[in-house]
Amino acid sequence: MMKEYEVYSDLRVPVNSKIIIRLDGRSFHSFAKKMELEKPYDENFYNVMVEACKDLFEEFSPIFIYAFSDEINMLLDKIPFKGRFEKINSVIASFTSSSFTLHYNAEFPKPVAFDSRIIPINDSDIYDYFKWRQDEAWRNCVNGYGIHFLKSKYSSGRANEIINGLTLSDIHELLFENGINLNDVDIWKKRGIGVYRKNKKVIGFNKKESKEQVSYRSFIHVDYNLPIFSEGFFNELF
């Protein structure tokens, strides 16, 4: 039977496990250049990324989404599609690409695509994973501001040559000496953006008992002011 040719169709996520889906924009360096995105951070681009994250949250009910640059990390405990790797990767990548395109509302030089990978993870490793990605967001921030400053002074080739020989501390110091204090940069640029559920207190009136009644409703919260990740932050999410 031809079904036998679908060699990965039975590959599944382990039952009762958590997974992280990591999505990356394909060739987004080229995309940024062709779309003439503002450097080092284009706010419209990040608004669109947030909208894509919110769509993912509505569709797949994750515990937490973390985004920076052109990367989205989605932590799931309710595994869709009966855990089928092929289905999860293909549907979530195509869903993200479509959401990004719809929200951008612009004519692209070529179709936009995200790739997707599945990372099975133990509870004990969740903090380490997201701390690793947040450290990468910080590196991106320092390098982004560094190369943007150097290109304002040197040719693109020379700027790249200089920055490749500098540590993060060197770049930080270079920027500071030239009036750019990364402490003053928006927190989301340094630490990334989180999307997760929060509870909102709602005060109503109970007519039967003739008194105020307090209830809580959950809503999708976009956090532009994430703390430096700690184990406690993730313990509160679960």
Q: How far apart are CA 96 and CA 62, in angstroms?
A: 14
> 167 lies in a domain?
no
Task: Report yes or no on 92 lying in a domain.
Answer: yes
Percent of the chain with pLDDT over 90: 79
* pLDDT given for residue 208 in this prediction: 67
The answer to whether 74 touches 20, Cβ cutoff 8 Å, is yes
Residue 171 domain flag: no
Tell me, what's the pLDDT at 14? 80
Residue 185 to residue 202: CA distance in whole angstroms: 34
- The whole-angstrom separation of Cα 130 and Cα 234 is 9
In this predicted model, what pLDDT tens digit does every residue of 134-189 receive, in sequence order? 999 999 999 999 999 999 999 999 999 999 989 999 999 999 999 999 999 999 99
Q: Report if residue 136 sits inside a domain.
A: no
**Mean per-residue pLDDT for 192-221?**
77
Report H helices in the chain. 28-34, 43-60, 85-104, 123-151, 156-164, 168-177, 187-191, 231-237
Least confident of 9-18, 25-34, 153-162: 9-18
Give me the CATH number covering residue 16: 3.30.70.3000
Classify residue 69: in a domain, yes or no.
Answer: yes
pLDDT at 209 over 70: no
Report the largest interatomic distance among the alpha carbons of the chain, rounded to a whole angstrom.
75
Q: Kindly give, in sequence order, each residue whose CB lies less than 8 Å from that of residue 177, ignoring residues fewer than 6 positions away.
A: none
Tens-place pLDDT, residues 98-121:
999 999 988 898 999 999 999 999
Band (203; pLDDT cuts 50, 70, 90): low
User: How many domains is the chain partitioned into structurally?
Assistant: 1
pLDDT at 10: 75
pLDDT category at 2 given cuts 50, 70, 90 is: low
Is residue 66 predicted with pLDDT exceeding 70? yes
Range of the domain at 39: 2-131+185-191
Whether 13 is in a domain gets the answer: yes
pTM equals: 0.91
| Residue 24 lies inside a defined structural domain of this protein | yes
Using left for φ > 0, alpha for ψ between -120 and 50, and beta otherwise, residue 237 falls in alpha
Give domain status of residue 54, yes or no: yes
